[in-house]
Amino acid sequence: MTGEDRDGKDKKWQKLALEVIERLREEYPDAECTLDYDQAWKLLIGVRLAAQCTDERVNIVVEKLYEKFPDVDALAAADVAEIEEIVRPCGLGKSKARDISACMKILKEQYGGQIPKTFDELLKLPGVGRKSANLIMGDVFGEPAIVTDTHCIRLVNRIGLVDGIKEPKKVEMELWKIIPPEEGSDFVTDLYTTEGKCARPAQNHTATDAVWQISVRRKFRIVFTQDQQKHV
């Protein structure tokens, strides 16, 4: 593919991305992450616990966790086995407890109980990958961020924003080429909303109704399917 051809394809994808962003915003104007947190370090823990677990279950479990260990210092001093006992219902209790303990120790010793404010520093924390770091950067610090997990990857492939790419970092890099930086975080949150991952739909649709199956036809014609197809 020549540079000219690539530029033309990127422009088509950019146009499609803007159309999807606008339609998602109209459908879900109040979408937001439903992991409960009132301090940044709590979101860090919530994201770690949410791996292979629902946000709803995480929100229940962290209530018990914070009741016993109400701050970074308390968690940093806690026995890993005590943390594991509480977080076990989220699955992978041993590894999650270990990561939470190690992470809180680092926050206490190196960051004064706060979370680091750069992407690279976040990536150095135990249990924090690109998905978690991007979520923190977007939701906590309001920085440009694109969170790519299996749900996002599946949908952006179905929509046609990427073409057969499955590796999270590669998908993230491709999306950065076509999604305006200021839209990245909200775009992904709205995508999650289509299956009830991060918020309830604004209208009287259930989360599964919102299989909303966004699909793409030739020449980037979008079809949003709910009860019946609506051709754009």
Q: Could you tell me the strand order of the sheet in which 213-217 lies?
A: 213-217, 221-225, 229-231
Please state, in angstroms and rounded to a whole number, the distance separating the CA atoms of residues 118 and 134. Answer: 10
Q: What are 158's two structure tokens?
A: 């179905």
Residue 169 neighbours by CB under 8 Å, 6+ apart: 130, 148
Q: Which is catalytic among the residues 42, 96, 108, 131?
A: 131
117: amino acid identity, one letter: K
Whether 149 sits among the annotated catalytic residues: the reply is yes
Helix (H) / strand (E) containing 225: strand 221-225
Residue 95 neighbours by CB under 8 Å, 6+ apart: 127
Residues in a beta bridge with 216: 222
> Buried (b) or exposed (e) across 153-174, using 16+ Cβ within 10 A?
bebbbebbbbeebeebeebbeb
If one counts every other C-beta atom within 10 angstroms of the C-beta of residue 37, the result is 18
DSSP state for residue 104 in the 8-state scheme: H
Please state, in angstroms and rounded to a whole number, the distance separating the CA atoms of residues 132 and 136. Answer: 6
Q: Which is catalytic among the residues 55, 99, 139, 149?
A: 149
User: Which of the residues are catalytic?
Assistant: 131, 149
